[in-house]
């Protein structure tokens, strides 16, 4: 079946393309699923990756969550970084740290403490 186990519970199933490395790390190429380290998961068919502390990435939906609630959705172009920081590229919206927002399509930007600018309207 093309199955191999090496070292610390490391497994590989070539027919299914499954590999498990060290700490419950798993990879299934047929399904494109990989689990790395602490509950880190990646599913290439669905484009889903979860890394360390609840960090998630879904490429099909373009969604990535990294560290502390950091999110990015590429299909929607949405990214959330650090403390509620968000960016939506499709809509051109970015929110950084303290409620800072920017929407390029509308030319709207909010920076720092409720600071706002609407470029389309000046």
Q: What is the pLDDT of residues 12-61, one digit of tens each?
A: 443 333 444 333 334 443 333 444 433 334 443 333 344 333 334 433 33
Domain region containing 17: 1-59
Mean pLDDT of 77-94: 38
What percent of the chain lies above the pLDDT cut of 70? Answer: 0
Task: Record the pTM.
Answer: 0.14
The Cα–Cα gap between 35 and 44 comes to 11
Q: Of 59, 76, 108, which residue sits at a domain end?
A: 59
In a shared domain, residues 121 and 65: yes
Burial of residue 77 (number of CB atoms within 10 Å: 0-12, 13-18, 19+): middle
Mean pLDDT of 75-81: 37
In a shared domain, residues 4 and 51: yes
Mean pLDDT of 91-102: 39
In a shared domain, residues 82 and 111: yes
In a shared domain, residues 69 and 84: yes
In a shared domain, residues 78 and 36: no
Decide if 4 contacts 12 (C-beta within 8 A): yes
Q: Of 59, 78, 103, which residue sits at a domain end?
A: 59
């Amino acid at each position: 079946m093309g199955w191999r186990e090496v070292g610390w519970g490391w497994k590989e199933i070539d027919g299914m393309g499954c590999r498990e490395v060290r700490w419950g790390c798993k990879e299934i190429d047929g399904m494109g699923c990989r689990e790395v380290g602490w509950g880190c998961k990646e599913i290439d068919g669905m484009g889903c990756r979860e890394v360390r502390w609840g960090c998630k990435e879904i490429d099909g939906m373009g969604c990535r969550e990294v560290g502390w609630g950091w999110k990015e959705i590429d299909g929607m172009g949405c990214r959330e970084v650090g403390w509620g920081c968000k960016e939506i590229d499709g809509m051109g919206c970015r929110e950084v740290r303290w409620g800072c927002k920017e929407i390029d399509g509308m030319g709207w930007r909010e920076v720092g403490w409720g600071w706002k600018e609407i470029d389309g309207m000046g």
